[in-house]
Amino acid sequence: MTSTPAKPTTDAWGIDASWLDALDEEHTVSEETIELLRQVIGHPPTDLLDRAPIVARPGDPLEVEGAEVTCEDGEVRRVDGSLPEDFPLGYHRLRTTDGRDRRLIVSPGRCWLPEGWRGWGWAVQLYATRGRDSWGIGDLGDLRTVREFAQAQGAGFVLVNPLHAVAPTAGQEDSPYLPATRRFRNPVYLRIADVPGIEAVDAETDAGRALNDGELIDRDAIWAVKRRVLQRVFDAGRDSGADEGPFREWWWHQGQPLMDWATWCAIADEHGPNWQTWPAELVDPRGTGVADFAAGHDRQIAFHAWLQWLLDVQLRAATEGITVIQDLPIGVAGGGADAWAWQDVLAQGVSVGAPPDAFNSQGQDWGSPPLVPWRLQAADYEPFIQSIRATMAGAGGLRVDHVMGLFRLWWVPSDGSAADGAYVRYPYEDMLDIVALESHRAQAIVVGEDLGTVEDGVREAMAEHGILSYRLLWFEEDEPAQWPAEAMAAISTHDLPTVAGLWTGADLTEQREHGVGTEEELERGRASLLARLSTVPADATPVEAVEAAHRRLATAPSTLLSATLDDALAVARRPNMPGTTDRPNWCIPLPVPTEELAGHPGVQAVAGVLAEGLRPAKPQRARKAAKKTAARKKKS
């Protein structure tokens, strides 16, 4: 039985009339906001419950009699009242005796996780890991280097920022949490030297490596050079017929989703990265205008599909032999490819965000349009399934950003502030079971980022589905030794201060410069976090504070122990300052080249501390017996 999160009054549209903040104070949503959101959501069809997918587990009772199920493998089974215990997992079609056809999704109910396994690993902002052969940004070659030294240190996983694609145009989006798609990856992460056929063209290696000289990561400059060279390689391959082998076969197996993505990219090249400003005949992805465009731009569409093939090959090589946990953003850009392909499923005139809380007094607006719950069901959950599956692919792990969004999302009206929003409910039981099914198929560990305001029942439902919680030293009141085993334990995230930034006050200074809070709020926030380092001597250096913080973290019994490279290198700036939108957010490279990370004293010290924390302590009886044996030997 799945735990049910406690709900305030929720109307027929799934809108909560009130909400509780982090201090358990209740706030009432305005009638104006509720009425606006009702108009955005619209009325579901009266027969939705008869058409929506059935999500169940083997042995579950079904409210159908004498139904015929066509399984994924083509086998036809009869279902009468309940699913047999041996019913295959997967995505099937169910037809009732009255002729209704609907999707049947059969899930194991729990995510895949090796029994008794524990591991420690590095959390990496991949773009920041520039090496000597990088072209201004950390790439999949750098991920391979990180994976290799992590394996050598005994790490069990690497956690990376979202690698999803943005528009292939100038004005590259810096934030990895606002992609154009959650189904395909960003070619800016390609290691150009590893592209087949590069030796046959002018690779502009010197110009590429010169991009490392920039103090910040300039994605526009980087992508301009990389794209130019990649286009050159692709054109040379087309002329020689070299692209007709593995790539074409791979492309054929990707089906319509890749065709949609590559077509969107080709249109964006000509008409800009926002489909909402395109000519009317190109707005409908299934319209004749798009079909005509594709017929006349087959070469450019093939180029964008080829880039995805390269990314698939390089990612698999980079992650070989270790679990790489990839991050799934909460949403996508409203003008992007997924929003174009699924515009009938996404809400218009609102975006996803967060209500005001202790860390953001004005609330947050993340800029992504939310999926309309009933429209998601009517689409057989396909937008959600494809996003989960694609992010898990080829690496063995998934971190769901703001996992509470599977239960409810804070919708912000486009004409209001984040504080003017309201929570809208989602069919979380179905969505959690889908995550479990995809996890089982990919043998991927799943972590849910459950930070901030978490309503009752959410963590219980996560635990029942085998989704690891995410516990931070900066957030938790309890000692790490008291944290749950079913969790990933860490000190900070990309949105919070690094240990060195907190310890030295550099982060407080930067917050003041950006004006992200009042002086009282900022001082109170820093004091609260410093309390987690109360055992560190006041005269400790930042490096000493980092090691001490990780020694405390290492006492957690959690399944996964995670440390950031930023902390290990005693970096003072956090990757992202919430409440600000300008650089240097998401543009700060690490101060040490990737090739030198393995030998860095801070990286070695943190790795040693976390590895020691995973070693099982001797049972009390064993320790007593060992003392007695030692005493006897001493006497003899």
Question: pLDDT tens digits for 281-307?
Answer: 999 999 999 999 999 999 999 999 999
Lowest mean pLDDT among 14-28, 87-101, 275-289: 14-28
**Residue boundaries of the structural domains of the chain:** 58-106, 119-614
Burial class (CB in 10 A: 0-12, 13-18, 19+), 155: buried
d(CA 444, CA 112): 6
Tell which wins on pLDDT, 375 or 581.
Answer: 375
Confidence of residue 356 (pLDDT cuts 50, 70, 90): confident
Average pLDDT of the chain? 93
Three-state DSSP string of 33-90:
HHHHHHHHHCCCCCCHHHHCCEEECCCCECCCCCEEEECCCCCEEEECCECCCCCCCE
Task: Give CA–CA dist 192/231, Å, rounded.
Answer: 11
The predicted-structure confidence for 202-250, as pLDDT tens digits, reads as follows 999 999 999 999 999 999 999 999 999 999 999 998 754 455 689 999 9
DSSP secondary structure letter of residue 190: -
The contacts of residue 7 (CB under 8 Å, 6+ apart) are 16, 425
Query: Among the residues of 364-457, which ranges form H helices?
Result: 373-378, 382-392, 428-442
pLDDT of residue 392: 95
Contact 562, 190 (CB under 8 A): no
Q: Is 6 helix (H, G, I), strand (E, B) or coil?
A: coil
pTM, two decimal places: 0.93
Query: Which pLDDT band holds residue 625 (cuts at 50, 70, 90)?
Result: very low
Distances (CA, A) of 361 to 497, 511, 518, 528: 17, 14, 10, 16
Q: Give per-residue pLDDT as tens, 540-579.
A: 999 999 999 999 999 999 999 999 999 999 999 999 998 8
pLDDT of residue 579: 83
CB 445 within 8 A of CB 520: no
CATH architecture label of 119-614: Alpha-Beta Barrel (3.20)
Residue 422 neighbours by CB under 8 Å, 6+ apart: 15, 16, 19, 29, 33, 34, 37, 410, 411
Contact 216, 587 (CB under 8 A): yes
Work out the pLDDT band at 98, boundaries 50, 70, 90: confident
Cβ proximity of 111 and 467 under 8 Å: yes
Per-residue confidence (pLDDT) for residue 618, from 0 to 100: 41
pLDDT value, residue 4: 59
Is 50 exceeded by the pLDDT of residue 628? no
Residues in the chain: 636
Angle, vertex CA 618, rays to CA 614 and CA 622, nearest 5: 170
Q: How confident is the model over 54-84, as pLDDT tens digits?
A: 999 999 999 888 899 999 999 999 998 899 9
**383-428: pLDDT as tens digits:** 999 999 999 998 899 999 999 999 999 999 998 888 899 999 999 9
pLDDT at residue 632, as a whole number: 41
State yes or no: pLDDT of 39 exceeds 50: yes
Query: Among 366, 362, 359, which Cα is nearest to 410's?
Result: 366
Residue with tokens 């920039």: 214
- Residue pLDDT, tens place only, 493-510: 999 999 999 999 999 999
Give pLDDT, residue 359.
61
